[in-house]
Every structure is written in structure tokens, then in C-alpha cells.
Amino acid sequence: MYSDKVMDHFKNPRNVGEIENADGIGEVGNPVCGDIMKIFLKIENNIVTDAKFKTFGCGAAIASSSMATELVRGKTLEEAWEVSNQAVAEALEGLPPIKMHCSVLAEEGIHKAINDYRVKKGLEPWVEKNPHSHEHDEMTCEH
């Protein structure tokens, strides 16, 4: 059911854990199936220098967290913000349609962590371009 890449990131997840005194933390819950993802970012000079996660969820959720943290490392905040759930899913060589919402969770976790950082710095939080990401879910909840 899962691609080799998903299984690889599920079985050998990169960046599991927490960052002490993280600059940005984003905890998101999945409205579709009730799972939870927590993203920790270390940010220096507008660059994500470290990213870690903790996830309570399915294989796709764990693999998406792992891949998303990989993708944002080394990126500027602006670039990291642009890492979409599709990019995460593509990097994982695809997710089953019903599991796309798990990658949405990763995108939202990253966004929340970035905004947590921005708010702490006294900056305006960025606005979700696609606040109704649940729409993806409706599209994918077919069976």
C-alpha cells in the first residue's frame, strides 16, 4: 500500500525528537482521523537550522513528518513556508489518496511552528494561503 520511500521514512524516521528551547513549536491535530503532530524548529538568521518532530499517527503521518522536517532544514523561513503537503507527498513518491490528509498535517505543523516563531519575535503571523486544508480531506475521503 505504501511506496518504498514511505516505508523507509516510517521505519527509519529522520529527525525524531524535540529541540530544547526550540525557536518555533507547532502542534497540530488531525481533524480527519484524530492524530497529533508536533514540530520543533531551530531558526538562526531566518534559516531553519534544525527541525524535529513527534507524531502520534499512522505510517503516512510518521513518514510525512520525517520528510517535512528533512525538506525544511536549511531553508529560509519563506522557503520553508512554501513546502506544501503535495511537495511532501511527492518527495515520498506518493501517498494513497486516503492518506493525503496526513501530509496536510505536516504542512500545517510547519506553518504553525513558523508562526509561533514569528509571534514570539513580535512579527505578524503569516496567513495560511489555504486555510481550508480540510478540503483536501473531503476530496480524498472516498471509498
Binding site for another protein (CB under 8 A): 2, 7, 10-11, 13, 16-18, 27, 32-38, 53-59, 61-62, 98, 101, 141, 143
Considering only residues 29 to 88 of the shown chain, the ones binding ligand FES according to CB under 6 A are 30, 33, 35, 57-58, 60-61
The answer to whether residue 58 is catalytic is no
Angle between helices 100-120 and 59-72 (to 10 degrees): 40
Cβ-count burial 66-93 (b if 16+ within 10 Å, e if not): bbbbbbbbebebeebbebbbebbbebbe
Spot the catalytic one: 51, 102, 113, 114: 102
Q: Residue 99, interface with ligand FES (CB under 6 A)? A: yes
Interaction partner, residue 7 (another protein, ligand FES, none; CB < 5-8 Å by kind): another protein
Cell numbers 497529533 correspond to: 36
| Residue 47 grid cell | 534559516
The answer to whether residue 33 is catalytic is yes
